């Protein structure tokens, strides 16, 4: 038969891990919506371009977590917005920066709970992307003289 790379997932504490995946789905879903707003109000083409790329990453992360959730539970998640995005650009950048930083630690902790090496590596790659996003948001905060 086929080798299922997700088979070892069942050896970990499923409930806590699935709860973490659910939080990740909601966080990515919220980020997608917030970054759509930030893209629309970004003051320069450079900022729009970078935010568009970050949003693409978040959509990819969202799909990876949804796919994992389905493999683990056999059901589709119902994503919901877990945090509202401020209307003000600087406040939105501040929320985005802090959220991306917090998410890096959350994803690294989540990856440590995975026993399957493929899942562990996937979540760590996503955490790396989130750190890169935080750097961009910090750059835009500085560039626009925003206060944290």
Mean pLDDT, the chain cut into blocks of 10 residues (148 residues total): 48 78 98 98 98 98 97 95 95 98 97 92 98 98 92
Looking at residue 14, its pLDDT comes to 76
With beta carbons less than 8 A apart as the criterion, state whether 107 and 98 touch.
no
Is 130 within 8 Å of 104 (Cβ atoms)?
Answer: yes
pLDDT of residue 115: 83
Q: What is the pLDDT of residue 11?
A: 43
Q: How far is CA 11 from the centre of its chain?
A: 25
pTM for the model: 0.89
Q: Which of 108, 30, 112, 120 is nearest to 68 (CA)?
A: 120
The label of the residue with tokens 């209307």 reads: 87
The pLDDT value given to residue 5: 52
Q: According to the model, what pLDDT value does residue 109 have?
A: 96
The helix/strand/coil state of 78 is coil
CA 140, CA 148: separation in Å to the nearest integer? 11
């Amino acid at each position: 038969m086929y080798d299922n790379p997700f088979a070892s997932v069942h050896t970990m504490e499923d409930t806590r891990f699935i709860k973490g995946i659910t939080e990740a789905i909601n966080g990515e879903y919220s980020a997608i919506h917030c970054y759509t707003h930030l893209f629309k109000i970004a003051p320069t083409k450079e900022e729009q371009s970078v935010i568009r790329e970050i949003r693409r990453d978040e959509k990819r992360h969202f799909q990876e977590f949804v796919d994992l959730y389905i493999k683990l539970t056999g059901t589709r998640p119902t994503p919901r917005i877990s945090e509202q995005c401020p209307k003000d650009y600087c406040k939105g950048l501040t929320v985005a920066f802090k959220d991306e930083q917090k998410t890096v630690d959350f994803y690294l902790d989540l990856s440590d709970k995975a026993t399957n090496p493929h899942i562990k590596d996937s979540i760590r790659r996503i955490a790396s992307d989130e750190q890169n996003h935080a750097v961009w948001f910090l750059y835009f905060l500085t560039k626009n003289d925003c206060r944290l």
